[in-house]
Structure 1
Amino acid sequence: MASDRVSSYGRGGAGNITKEHGSPQPTAADLVTPVLKSEHYTTGRGGTGNMARNNPNFPEIARASQDVEAPLHREPEGPHHYGRGGAANVAKPTEEEKRAAHEHSARSDETKREDGAAGKGLVDKVKEGLSKLGKK
């Protein structure tokens, strides 16, 4: 029986062992980004410098300031370290791997430029949002 099957999650320990159960599938309503309704909201990782006052008339500003774009991923073109350190964690790419990494980075840069997202920070996003509000 599937309900009697036990699974382990995480790094171990009794708290990470549970009977298997099917996870409910998300619906479209589960994936809708909520509108921030509190008087203040946070941006970044926390701290008073990352607190902002929410203007209920313009919820898109609060939402945009919390959206974070993933940093551009670049493939390393030369020797690079990974893991926790030590000589065994140094990778030295072959000439073919260096060429492929260079091409991947160039394609990523081109895609960002086409999307218009290169160099857009929070201030640029807010300015863009405010300019759209003024045109209505």
Structure 2
Amino acid sequence: MAPSTDRVASHGRGGAGNIGKDDPTAHTNPQDLITPTLKSDHYTTGRGGSGNMAKNDPNHPEIARASQDVEAPSLREPEGPHHYGRGGAANVAGTTEEQERKRSEEAKREEGKGLVDKGKELLSKLGGKK
């Protein structure tokens, strides 16, 4: 018996509905990734409106291509600890050594306190007697 030439492929994020036979004709070729040049007399350079229409110069297609490219806004990392992903301690990033040192000192102070001391501290924070 000859081995099967059918490949099984996973598409999407997972799950049984995303498993199927691989279609070899659906693979991306380098030619599929070439950006086409614009052939029309005019092209749009924005979201719409007559002010965003430009005349196409067939001798310089790179001008039309550059006019249509939209750059994404620059990514700015938030200050201090920030979260990535779905949650959990492994998805927190951005703490500095100074922040880690403070957290460690706070944990050591809390370790030595009893329940009464923690209660007194809570009452003092709420405006009670010290």
TM-score (norm 1): 0.42
Query: Which structure is higher in helix share?
Result: 1
Which one has more relative contact order, counting CA pairs under 8 Å at least 6 apart? 1
Normalised by the length of structure 2, the TM-score is 0.43
State the structure with more CA Rg.
2
